Chains A and B, each alone.
Chain A
């Protein structure tokens, strides 16, 4: 068609034939301008904040950085963060698998309501995520007096942090598994059952291998959020240094004390974890683009 157009123009215009191209892309000048604009935006809003963390952390040299990291309160914060993730992630994996199995392998009324309920912690402000548990377990809360009488501390103690984190990270595994398992259907499981496998055997040998990439992806997202959660945990924690500070909270404490280098040092650790999460995420997406059902919408 391009050649026809070129020929036509040369016949009619009697001028030196110009190569007429179909306008299937923007002119080069426009393209460059758009790329520059987009990259400019990204540099300002994405790259710079990333770099600032590192530069501020190293502002007083590597020695100061190292000291900040091994400081006992920082270490306690790291431990608490890891402990929280270690408890929260497996629980939410169990929930995610159970919910996805119930929703995708069976037919019952109220499914979309259930799915909305699962999505709820994801779309709610983290502050509210912490607040509801203060209302339940805080001193002035519903169970406050009872807990106090029995010497059980939830709010302003580790259990509160764990349960608040549980709330905000609840949807992640389920949200990955549900569309994936919906797409996979029930044929393979039915085949396995017809061949005589028990429910557990079917799950272990047939379902689990099929969902493993989606599951890993969900675990990754759940873990990332569990480590980095701030708002919900800030509300329930009480900021007791050495006891109820997770890493993000510790960053806040250090920052409010004007100990910027230490704050950024701990922040840099969190940033490295985030970057590792991103790297893993990209790897998983590359490895199994066909096996992750949804476009990445968070």
Chain B
């Protein structure tokens, strides 16, 4: 079922939690709502579910106005962040709950309920757990019970609130796979909320990045990763470095080159964002010629780390820490060591005016510990 949100606005007390949000959720898609805490993603999900009501705006589900749709007809399943399992009921009773509470007319016979619960437990790989109680289960198992319970009523739309939050890394990955499989097989429309970008980018067909009650950008994982449209998105997704530059006459002066940005930025201070993999290093003992902008002054290598096929080099540049990624062989080619001076050239910079950056990135700074992290260990390649 298609879902459409228009101009959704919600306040809690003095805080504006959702700010005129428009969103279209396509039938059958797996959509991720990604953002830091306080971005409004959970509130959005709860409004979708009907657990909260927006102050303004409209919500239509399957082309029907949601206000006219009572719960039972929304065909939604909801998985809570802390699972909200019924602790005093067995796994079987938890999963069967949605079927047992139906009015007599719609209630399936006991035999059918048994069958359905069995199938669901098989689906989430909890065969044999029927008589256990939630307190006896691990986090991952509880999660699967919550999922099975939500699926019991055969919803068309599945909503999940930070479903893998409290679980170990390995369990998360397994559960991710299961969830996606279930979504594909059952033909659901799934919306899930998370603050873990790896998860969102890994699982979703489309990801909507939210900040401060607004959707910053929505697109496929590779779209938003490769072509971030706002400073917030760049800073939130993956790792990135930031360099100061200037705009005059509509052209950006970055390092020794002039870049033309379309649409042009206003004149004045600007910031260029560059991903670690897009910085090319050269030893600072000769002249460096490159088609890409070459940054002035040299940087000092402070730390080198080699893991697998990749190498990460951390440099000190103008009082800032810069992170560069390259293939390990390339690192050896350059014969870089800690203390060496390097010259950087940058590729694929994303430039934004300083004003826009300051407005958006201040709150994200708190999340990224990359800059300012001073590593004490010495390391030699």
Contact = CB atoms under 8 A, between A and B. Distances in A.
> Does A touch B (CB under 8 Å) in the complex?
yes
B101 A196 contact: yes
Given A194-B76, A196-B102, A187 B82 contact: yes
A47 to B, nearest CB: 40
Q: How large is the interface on B (under 10, 10 to 19, 20 to 34, 35 or more residues)?
A: 20 to 34
B97 A197 contact: yes
A210 interface: yes
B111 interface: no
A191 B80 contact: yes
B104 interface: no
A192 B146 CA distance: 12
A201 B101 contact: yes
Contacts of B88: 209-210
Interface string B69-91: 00110001110101011111000
B149 A195 contact: yes
Contacts, number: 52
Contacts of A191: 78, 80, 84, 86, 149
B78 A194 contact: yes
A205 B87 contact: no
A34 B101 CA distance: 59
B169 interface: no
Contact of B97 (A190, A192, A210): A192
Contacts of B50: 194
A208 to B, nearest CB: 10
A250 B88 CA distance: 45
A85 B94 CA distance: 37
A201 B101 CA distance: 7
A159 to B, nearest CB: 40
A194 B51 contact: yes
Given A194-B51, A195-B98, A188 B86 contact: yes
Interface residues of A, number: 16
A198 B149 CA distance: 17
User: Helix, strand, loop or mixed for chain B's interface?
Assistant: loop
A136 interface: no
A206 interface: yes
A193 interface: yes
Interface in A223-242: none
B153 A196 contact: yes
A210 B50 CA distance: 24
B100 to A, nearest CB: 8
A72 to B, nearest CB: 47
Question: Which residue, of A188, A195, A196, A205, has the highest number of chain B Cβ atoms within 10 A?
Answer: A195
B342 interface: no
Contacts of A195: 97-98, 101, 149-150, 152-153
Nearest to A192: B97
Contact of B84 (A187, A196, A197, A209): A187
Given A191-B80, A196-B72, A206 B86 contact: yes
Contacts of A196: 71-72, 98, 101-102, 153
A197 B152 CA distance: 13
A209 B71 CA distance: 24
A201 B100 CA distance: 10
B49 interface: yes
A191 B49 CA distance: 11
Interface string B169-189: 000000000000000000000
Given A187-B80, A188-B84, A210-B88, A194 B71 contact: yes
Interface in A162-196: 187-188, 190-196
A144 to B, nearest CB: 50
Contacts of B98: 195-197
Interface string B126-159: 0000000000000000000000011011000000
A101 B15 CA distance: 27
B329 to A, nearest CB: 52
Question: Which residue, of B72, B77, B86, has the highest number of chain A Cβ atoms within 10 A?
Answer: B86
Nearest to A187: B84
A190 B51 CA distance: 7
Nearest to A194: B78
B49 A194 contact: yes
B84 to A, nearest CB: 4
A190 B82 CA distance: 12
Contacts of B72: 196
Contacts of B101: 192, 195-198, 201, 205
A34 B38 CA distance: 53
Question: Which residue, of B76, B97, B149, has the highest number of chain A Cβ atoms within 10 A?
Answer: B97
Given A194-B76, A194-B77, 9 more contacts: A188-B85, A191-B149, A192-B101, A194-B78, A195-B97, A197-B101, A201-B101, A205-B101, A210-B87
A-B pairs with the 3 shortest C-beta distances? A195-B98, A187-B84, A197-B101
17 contacts: A187-B82, A190-B78, A190-B80, A191-B78, A191-B80, A191-B84, A192-B101, A193-B71, A195-B98, A195-B152, A195-B153, A196-B71, A196-B102, A197-B97, A198-B101, A205-B97, A209-B86
